Chains A and B, each alone.
Chain A
Amino acid sequence: MKTFISLYSFKTPIYFVYMLQQVEYNPRKFLDWLEDLFKSDKPLQSVMYRQRLVKTTKALILLGFSLLLFVAMLAGAFMLADPDLSVWFYVAYIVTALFAFPFVLELSLSALAGIAWVLIVRPTQRRQIHKAAKIFSEHKAMKVAVIGSYGKTTMKELLATILSGGKSVVATPGNKNTALSQARFAQTLQGTEDVIIVEFGEGAPGDVAGMTKTVQPDYAVVTGLAPNHLDHYPSLKALAEDLLSVQKSKKTQTYVTTESEMLQKYTPSNVKQFSSKEVMGWKITNVLVSVTETSFTMRKGKETLAITTGLLGRHQVAPVAFGAALAHELGLSRKQIEAGCAKVKPFEHRMQPRNLQGAWIIDDTYNGNIEGLVAGLKLLGELDFKRKMYVTPGLVDQGEENERVHTKLGEMIAAISPDIVVLMENSARPIIEKAMKKKKFAGELRIEKKPLEFYLNIEHQLAAGDFVLMQNDWTDNYN
C-alpha cells in the first residue's frame, strides 16, 4: 500500500528515470526493481534515499517525455470535447487519467527503453565487442583475467600495483567489468603495454565465457564463489560453471583459489589451485596479521620473498602471494616484488583501517559476500583490543541462500564474540539474531533503526582501545 500511495507524487517521473539510470536503461531490470519495491511495500522515494538523479541527456529526454505524456493524458479531455457529454464525464476522465498516469508512465518508459535497447543499444554493443576482440587478439601484451563473485577488484588492483614495479601495466578502471565496458577499455589501449588486467563481471549465464572469447587471456585467476546474482543465475552451480568456464580456453593458464569453500565444490581436479599455504610452487610461512599490515614469507627452492602488505587479514595472504608469484613468473626481481607488495594498500571501503585518536575503524562496507564477512570476522577475533564492536546490516541479493547465509553469519558472530554487535533493522536481522542467540552470544546486541544516522555518528561511540569492524552497507536499491 505504501508503494502504491507513493506513486502519486510530482516526483514520480524523477524516481522512475533515476531507477532506469541505475539499471543502465535495461527495461527488464527496471520492471524487476519496481516489482521488488511493491513486494517489500516501501515508498517509491526510498530508491533515492542517498543518491540523486544525474542529469544526463538521456535522463532529461525521459523527464521531458514524462511531462509530455502527463500533458497529453490531461489534454485528452479537451480533445473529446462534446457538448452532449456531461461535466461528470470530464471529471471522471481527469480522475482516471491522474490515477492511471504512474502506471502508464511506467509502461511507456519501459517500452521506450526497450525499443532503444533492441534497435540501438544492443547492435552498437555487439559491434563494439567484436572490435574489442580484434584489439585484444592483436595486442602482444600478457593478458590477465580476474574472475569471481568477490575479491575481483582487490585482486585486480594488487596485481596492477605489484606488476607495475617492472612492467607497463593497465587495468580496467573501477568496477567496470561488463562486456561493454571492456570493449570501451580496449579502445583506450596504446599497443605498448606489457600487461593488461581485465576484470570479468558476472551478471547472467554465459557472461564469463563470452568475455573469455573477447579477451583471450593468457592467465586467469578465480577469486571466489558466493551466492550473488542468483536472481539471474538458475543456481549456484550454474554461477560456478560460468566463473570456471575460463579454464576451458586452451590459451589460458587458470588458477583457482582453494580458500573459497563454495568454489572448491565445483572446481575440476585438473585445474591449478592456489592458497594461503602454496602458490605456483611457492610455500608460504610466518603469516603475521596486525591492524595496519599483513606479512609472510614465500619460499621456492633457494629463493625467498619477504612480503609485507597493507591489506588486512589472513584471507589476503593467498591473493597477494598469487600476485607476487605471477610477478616472479613475468620476470620481476625480488626487490621489485617486495616493494610492489608493500605498495599495496587497502582499497576504499575494503578492509580499510582508519585511526581515530587511538580507536580503529575497519571500513569493509563494500564487502558483499559471506566468505568476505567471515574473513573480516576472523581478523576481529584474532586482534587484541580493549573493546571490539561489529557492525553489519547483513547481505542482500542472496536468493534462496538468504536463510543459510545469515544463519552462518550469526553463528560466526557468536563464535568470535565481539563485546558489542550492531545490526540494522531489516529482513536479515531476525535470522542473524536467532543464530546468535542459538550459539549463546553473550555480548551486547544493539539494533539500529536508522543506519545512515548510526554510520554518520559512530565516531561519538568510540575511544582509544576500541576496534570496530563495519561490514557491508545495503545499497539504495534495496532500501
Chain B
Amino acid sequence: MKTVAVIFGSRSAEHDISIITAISAIIKPLEATKQYKVEPVYISKTGEWFWDDRLKEIALYQTGEIQQFMKKAPKVQLQLDGGLTLVKSSQFAGRKQYKKIDVVFPATHGTYGEDGALMGLLEMANVPYVGCDVPSSAIAMDKVLSRDVATVNDIPVPKYEYLYADTFAQKGPTIVKELSKSLKFPLFVKPASLGSSIGISKVESERELTNAIEVATHYDNKVIIEEAVQNLVEVTVPIIGNRNTPLKYALVEEPLSPEDGVFDFDTKYMNQGKGEGKKMGGSKVDGVSSGSQGYSRLPADIPKSLYDESLDVAGRIYRSVGCEGIARIDLLIDKKAKKVFFNEINPLPGSLYSHNWRASGVSNVELVTELVDLAETRWSEKQKLNTTFSTNFLKQF
C-alpha cells in the first residue's frame, strides 16, 4: 500500500479552506480507495508542521481543539533522503517515528503552498507530488504574469495595468490619474497573488480606485487593475491532465454572482444555503447547484458556441502556463460581444471542484486516484532526464 502525505493549512489567508479541501475532498476519497495509506500533514498559521492521524478529524479544527493539540504534539522534521521521510518524536524514551512518503498531495491554497513555494521543497526532495509544478504554480498565482502569458499566446484578456505597493505609497495620486486615463471605468482592483477573491473591489470612479488600491495593498505588494468586462457572465472550467496527456475537462460552470458583481470571500465560502441561495432552495433547482464555492449553474447557461470557446480558451491557457495535474480556469464572457476572456488560474481549486467532476461523471475516488497516477507518471518521466554533467572544471580550479 502506497503512502500519500496530504499537506494542508499553511501561512495563507485561505488556511481554513485548505483544511476542508484536504479532509473532505482528498483524504476521505483517498482512504475510500483502500489503495493508499494517508498521512495528514498540517501546517499551522504560523508555519509549524504537524503529522498525526488525529489531523484527519474536522472536529479538531471546528472546536478549536487544534490549539491544544499543537501545544502538546511534536513538530515534524523533514528528512530529504533521496525522497521524503516524515520524522517526529514518538514522545517515548527519545525514540523517533519515521514515515517514508511515496506521493505528496498538496492541499494548500494561496501563499506558501499553491504559489509554488511548497512545490519547490517537494522538487528538492525528489518526491512525486500532485498538481502544478513550481513555474506553473508561480505564474498561475500571479495574475499579472498569467495575463502576460495569455497575451503572448493570443488568448484574450481584459485590458490591465499593475503596480507595486511601495510605488503607490510614493506616487499614489499620480498613478491613479494615469490609470483613470489609460483604463476605462468600471475597473476591478485585485491583489496579484491572492485567491478566493480576497481584497477584490469593483470601482466606478477615481476616488473609489484610490481606496480599492489601498485595500488591495494590505494583502499583496503587487496589485492589478483591469477593465471590467461588460454584459458579464463568469464561468469556470476545471481541467486535469499532464503536459503529455490529453486534457480532461469537467463541465463549464457558472458561479452565480451577487448583485454588486463582486464574488467576495464570504459569498464564496460562507453563504452556502444563505442569502441568494435561500431563494433557490435545495442543492439543485433548475440546474442550480450548491458546489464547494457557493451557488452555481452546472452546466453554464450559455450558447453552445460560447461553451465550446470557453473550453478552448481554458485548454489553451492551461497548456500555455504549463499546468499539470489539476487546475481550474476562470473565464469572463461578454455575452453581447460573444467574446471569452481569460481571467485567472487556480492551480489547486477549492475542494478540487469535486462537485463539478462528479457531475461530469468522475467520482471523488476516481479523481484523486487519477491525480496520484498523473503525479507518479510525471515524476517517473522526470527521472529519465539527466541532472548531472561531467566536467573537469573542479580539477582545473
Residues of A participating in the B interface, judged by any CB pair closer than 8 Å: 355-359, 386, 457, 459-466
Contact = CB atoms under 8 A, between A and B. Distances in A.
B363 A357 contact: no
A460 B284 contact: no
B87 interface: no
A386 B29 CA distance: 21
A464 B361 contact: yes
A462 B358 contact: yes
Given A355-B284, A460-B29, A386 B361 contact: yes
Contacts of A465: 361
B123 interface: no
A6 to B, nearest CB: 25
Interface string B178-205: 0000000000000000000000000000
Contacts of A359: 358, 363
Contact of A457 (B32, B283, B284): B32
Given A355-B284, A357-B289, A460 B364 contact: yes
A321 B366 CA distance: 43
Contacts of A358: 358-359, 361
Closest 10 CB pairs of A and B: A357-B359, A460-B364, A463-B363, A460-B29, A357-B358, A460-B32, A464-B361, A463-B361, A463-B358, A358-B359
A360 to B, nearest CB: 12
A463 B362 CA distance: 5
B361 A460 contact: no
Contact of A463 (B28, B284, B289, B366): B366
Nearest to B284: A355
A431 B109 CA distance: 49
A462 B284 contact: no
Contacts, number: 47
Interface string B353-391: 001111111111110000000000000000000000000
Contacts of B361: 358, 386, 463-465
Given A355-B284, A357-B289, A357-B298, A460 B28 contact: yes
A463 B32 contact: no
B246 to A, nearest CB: 19
Given A460-B363, A460-B364, A463-B366, A356 B32 contact: no
21 contacts: A357-B284, A357-B298, A358-B359, A358-B361, A359-B358, A359-B363, A386-B361, A457-B29, A459-B364, A460-B29, A461-B32, A461-B365, A462-B358, A463-B357, A463-B358, A463-B360, A463-B362, A463-B366, A464-B359, A465-B361, A466-B363
Contacts of A464: 358-361
Nearest to A456: B28
Contacts of B355: 357
Interface residues of B, number: 20
A77 to B, nearest CB: 39
Contacts of B365: 460-461
Contacts of A386: 361
A162 to B, nearest CB: 25
Contacts of A355: 283-284
B182 to A, nearest CB: 44
B363 A462 contact: yes
Contacts of B363: 359, 460-463, 466
B236 to A, nearest CB: 15
A356 B358 contact: yes
B397 to A, nearest CB: 57
Contacts of A357: 284, 289, 298, 355-356, 358-359
A378 B268 CA distance: 42
A460 B38 CA distance: 16
A356 B282 CA distance: 12
Nearest to B363: A463
A460 B361 CA distance: 12
Contacts of B356: 357
B282 to A, nearest CB: 10
A292 to B, nearest CB: 12
Interface in B321-371: 355-366
A461 B364 CA distance: 6
A386 B358 CA distance: 13
Contacts of B358: 356-359, 462-464
Given A356-B358, A457-B29, A461-B363, 5 more contacts: A357-B355, A357-B359, A457-B31, A461-B365, A465-B361
Interface centre among A358, A359, A462 (most CB of B within 10 A): A358
A463 B29 CA distance: 13
A448 to B, nearest CB: 10
Contacts of B364: 459-461
A8 B339 CA distance: 74
Nearest to B355: A357
Contacts of B357: 463
Contacts of B360: 463-464
A359 B360 CA distance: 10
A91 B356 CA distance: 68
A388 to B, nearest CB: 14
Interface string B236-256: 000000000000000000000
Contacts of A457: 28-29, 31-32
A357 B356 CA distance: 8
A357 B360 CA distance: 8
Interface string B16-32: 00000000000011011
B19 to A, nearest CB: 17
A359 B363 CA distance: 9
Contacts of B366: 463
A419 to B, nearest CB: 13
Nearest to B298: A357
A302 to B, nearest CB: 39
Contacts of B32: 457, 460-461
B83 to A, nearest CB: 28
A461 B34 CA distance: 12
Contacts of B284: 355, 357
A359 B361 CA distance: 8
Residue in B28, B360, B363 whose Cβ sees the most chain A Cβ within 10 Å: B363
A359 B357 CA distance: 12
A15 B366 CA distance: 41
A356 B291 CA distance: 11
Contacts of B298: 357
Nearest to A459: B364
A98 B233 CA distance: 73
B1 to A, nearest CB: 16
Contacts of A461: 32, 363-365
A359 B354 CA distance: 13
